[in-house]
Amino acid sequence: MTAHIIDGIALSKQLRADVARRAAALRARGVVPGLAVVLVGENPASQVYVRNKVKACEDSGLHSVLERYPATLSEADLLARVDALNRDPAIHGILVQLPLPAHIDAHKVIEAISPAKDVDGFHVASAGALMVGQPGFWPCTPYGCMKMLESIGYDLKGKHAVVIGRSNIVGKPMALMLLQKNATVTICHSGTQNLKALTLQADVVVAAVGKRNVLTADMVKPGAVVIDVGMNRNDEGKLCGDVDFDGVKEVAGWITPVPGGVGPMTITMLLVNTLEAAERG
Ligand code: GUN
| Residue-by-residue DSSP string for 2-34 | -PEE--HHHHHHHHHHHHHHHHHHHHHTT---E
CB-based burial, 71-93: b 16+ in 10 Å, e otherwise: eebebeebbebbeebeeeeebbb
Closest atom of ligand 1 relative to the 95 alpha carbon: 9
Asked whether the predicted pLDDT for residue 20 surpasses 90, the reply is yes
Across the range 42-51, mean pLDDT stands at 96
Q: Is 120 a catalytic residue?
A: yes
- What number of H helices and E strands is found in the chain? 10, 11
| Distance of CA 169 from the midpoint of ligand 1 (Å) | 8
% of the chain with per-residue pLDDT over 90: 99
- For residue 140 and ligand 1, the question of a CB distance below 6 A is answered with yes
Which pLDDT score is estimated for 281? Answer: 80
Which pLDDT score is estimated for 68? Answer: 98
Output the DSSP codes for 144-196: HHHHHHHHTT---TT-EEEEE---TTTHHHHHHHHHHTT-EEEEE-TT-S-HH
CB 179 within 8 A of CB 191: no
Intervals of CATH 3.40.50.720 along the chain: 139-263
Across the range 110-131, mean pLDDT stands at 98
Which pLDDT score is estimated for 33? Answer: 98
Asked whether the predicted pLDDT for residue 62 surpasses 80, the reply is yes
Across the range 201-210, mean pLDDT stands at 98
| Distance of CA 274 from the midpoint of ligand 1 (Å) | 15
CATH code reported for the domain at 139-263? 3.40.50.720
Asked whether the predicted pLDDT for residue 203 surpasses 80, the reply is yes
% of the chain with per-residue pLDDT over 70: 100
Closest atom of ligand 1 relative to the 99 alpha carbon: 1
Name residue 29's amino acid.
R
Q: Which residues pair with 95 in a beta bridge?
A: 37
User: pTM score, two decimals?
Assistant: 0.97
Please, which pLDDT band fits residue 123 given cuts at 50, 70 and 90? very high
Which pLDDT score is estimated for 90? Answer: 97
Q: Is 97 a catalytic residue?
A: yes
CB-based burial, 163-180: b 16+ in 10 Å, e otherwise: bbbbbebbbbbbbbbbee
Which pLDDT score is estimated for 120? Answer: 98
Please, which pLDDT band fits residue 7 given cuts at 50, 70 and 90? very high
- For residue 95 and ligand 1, the question of a CB distance below 6 A is answered with yes
Asked whether the predicted pLDDT for residue 1 surpasses 80, the reply is no
Please, which pLDDT band fits residue 4 given cuts at 50, 70 and 90? very high
Intervals of CATH 3.40.50.10860 along the chain: 30-114
Across the range 28-44, mean pLDDT stands at 97
Among 118, 120, 228, 242, the active-site one is: 120
169: nearest Cα among 105, 205, 93, 118: 118
Query: Which residue minimizes the CA distance to atom 9 of ligand 1?
Result: 97
| CATH for 30-114 (1.10.10.10, 3.40.50.10860, 3.30.1490.20, 2.50.20.10) | 3.40.50.10860
- For residue 118 and ligand 1, the question of a CB distance below 6 A is answered with no
Rounded CA-CA distance 268/167 in Å is 21
